[in-house]
């Protein structure tokens, strides 16, 4: 470990402005101001990520909405690019992010994205290739946590939940960072990396916090998780759109589809794999 260089505490949102440039079609964030008229449409463009949430949308939600006459086009973008594309109007919605991530984007990029409904979410988890239990934590051990602001916060909240650290009184759990740590009785060392890097270099650390979508993409056996987070409101995945569209009928229909008995029945019928059994289902 002594040859491993500690990554500076940064967020991925510095790249957002470059991402906006990738999606420009003459539209700007000025189109996404409160009070703008919602656009009614039946052809919906969604930001397609790599992982379970887009798959859930495609397999469980789109068929419900197609019965109502909607058609869908996927725009394959990473999450930063997708948020920028929603802001510019080139993409209509995302089902790949939680509120903490969205709020960080809005603050950094001046966006007006809104979260309208919780959706089934796979919790972030703690994994290790060196230890068999979180009870094996010891002095000076190294813990890898996600670098981006939203998932970094959920990691530190998890570490408090298991008693490894204590956050300062009054800490906003949606924005928690190393600066909010009040007590670190084990003198743990934290390395903040892109979550995908944590998944592929887990053996370099004593423990690592990995989000559900990365667990899925990396092919990690979810049953090997040593601890699964207790989801708070800030970390449930959400249906996210631009504020100007929040009252559009197509948005209401997407939300209704997620909250429908038809979808919940479909989810139960297709919830048989070891991975899918870890879905947390919101109560509407």
The pLDDT value given to residue 273: 55
**Does the structure show a pLDDT above 60 at 100?**
yes
Distance of alpha carbon 129 from alpha carbon 175, whole angstroms: 28
DSSP letter (8 states) at residue 140: T
- Nearest-5° angle of CA 238, CA 32, CA 283? 15
- Please, how many CA atoms are within 13 Å of residue 257, restricted to the half-sphere of its CB? 22
Q: What is the mean pLDDT of residues 89-104?
A: 94
The pLDDT value given to residue 109: 94
Long-range CB contacts (within 8 A, 24+) of 157-163: 157/229, 157/232, 158/124, 158/126, 158/209, 158/227, 158/229, 158/230, 159/188, 159/209, 161/227, 161/229, 161/230, 162/126, 162/134, 162/227
The answer for 275, left when phi > 0, alpha when psi is -120 to 50, beta otherwise, is alpha
pLDDT band at 28 (very low <50, low <70, confident <90, very high): very low
Distance of alpha carbon 186 from alpha carbon 165, whole angstroms: 8
The pLDDT value given to residue 50: 81
Question: Please, where are the H alpha helices in 162-233?
Answer: 195-200, 212-218
Distances 226 to 131, 146, 206, 232 between C-alpha atoms, Å: 9, 17, 12, 19
The pLDDT value given to residue 271: 67
**Does the structure show a pLDDT above 80 at 6?**
no
Bridging pattern class, strands 181-183 and 166-167: antiparallel
CB 180 within 8 A of CB 9: no
pLDDT in tens, 133-182: 999 999 999 999 999 888 999 999 999 999 999 999 999 998 999 999 99
């Amino acid at each position: 470990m002594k040859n491993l260089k500690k990554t500076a505490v940064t967020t991925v949102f510095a790249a957002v402005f470059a991402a906006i440039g990738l999606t420009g079609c003459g539209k700007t964030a000025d189109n996404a101001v409160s009070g703008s008229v919602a656009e009614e449409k039946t052809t919906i463009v969604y930001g397609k990520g790599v992982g379970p949430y887009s798959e859930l949308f495609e397999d469980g939600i789109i068929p419900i909405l197609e019965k109502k006459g909607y058609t869908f086009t996927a725009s394959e973008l990473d999450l930063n690019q997708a948020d920028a594309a929603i802001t510019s109007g080139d993409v209509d919605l995302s089902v790949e992010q939680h509120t903490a991530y969205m709020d960080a984007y809005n603050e950094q990029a001046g966006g007006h994205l809104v979260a309208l409904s919780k959706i089934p979410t796979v919790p972030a988890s703690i994994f290790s290739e060196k230890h068999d239990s979180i009870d094996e934590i010891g002095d000076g051990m190294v813990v890898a946590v996600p670098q981006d602001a939203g998932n970094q916060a959920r990691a530190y909240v998890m570490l408090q939940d298991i008693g490894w650290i204590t956050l300062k009184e009054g800490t906003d759990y949606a924005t928690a960072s190393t600066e909010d740590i009040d007590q670190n009785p084990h003198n743990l060392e934290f390395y903040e990396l892109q979550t995908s890097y944590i998944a592929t270099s887990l053996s370099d650390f004593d423990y690592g916090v990995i989000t559900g979508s990365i667990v899925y993409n990396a092919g990690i056996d979810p049953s090997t998780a040593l601890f699964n987070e207790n989801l708070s409101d800030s970390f449930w995945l959400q249906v996210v759109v631009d504020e100007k569209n929040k009252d559009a009928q197509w948005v209401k229909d997407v939300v209704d589809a997620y909250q429908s008995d038809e979808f919940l029945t479909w989810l139960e019928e297709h919830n048989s794999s070891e991975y899918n059994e870890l879905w947390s289902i919101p109560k509407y």
